[in-house]
Amino acid sequence: MRGFTLRAVPVCVVVFACGCFLTKPVTLTETANRTPTHAYWGQVSGILAQKPTGQDIPAYVSLVRTQTEALRGLNPEGVDDALVAAVQDLIRCEAEVLRRADMVDSDPAMLRGSKEMANAFATSNRAAAESKKRLRALQSGLNERHGGGFAPMGG
């Protein structure tokens, strides 16, 4: 009898655990692409979740360029106006980062050599970071207006 009990306890634990985790209620994030706004949010999240290939300024600038072009290519038709406006603001801010980086050919030595250029580049980076924060902050409002399903944004 003891042998049966010892073999049955792990099986019961596994069955209990699977039952607890597999019978959870279905959340709306599992059907995240049910509206154009949900799909757009997911695409923006995926774009912003990309990471630079290196730790230097050229790698960072390359990532910003890739992300900005990808964001420009998204179709805003039928998407929540606040979300589209926030993405357009981010594109504008990132374009300024790219403009400042192009002025110094993405060369860290040139930035170190010119305090004004370094400050301008840093200011444009801060503006882009703030724009990303505002974009991420839309999640709760979108969940309220569109019935949920907006997972936290990546990146």
Which residues, 6 or more positions from 56, have their beta carbon under 8 angstroms from its beta carbon? 108
| Mean pLDDT of the region 126-152 | 95
Number of Cβ atoms within 10 Å of the Cβ of 94? 23
Query: Which of the residue ranges 14-23, 69-78, 107-116 would you say has the lowest mean pLDDT?
Result: 14-23
pTM of the model: 0.77
Whether the CB-CB separation of 107 and 114 falls below 8 Å is answered with no
For residue range 9-60, list pLDDT tens digits in order.
555 555 555 554 454 444 444 444 689 999 999 999 999 999 999 999 999 9
% the chain with pLDDT above 70: 78
Residue with more model confidence, 142 or 21: 142
What single-letter amino acid sits at 27?
A: T
Q: Could you tell me which CATH class the domain 36-145 is placed in? A: mainly alpha
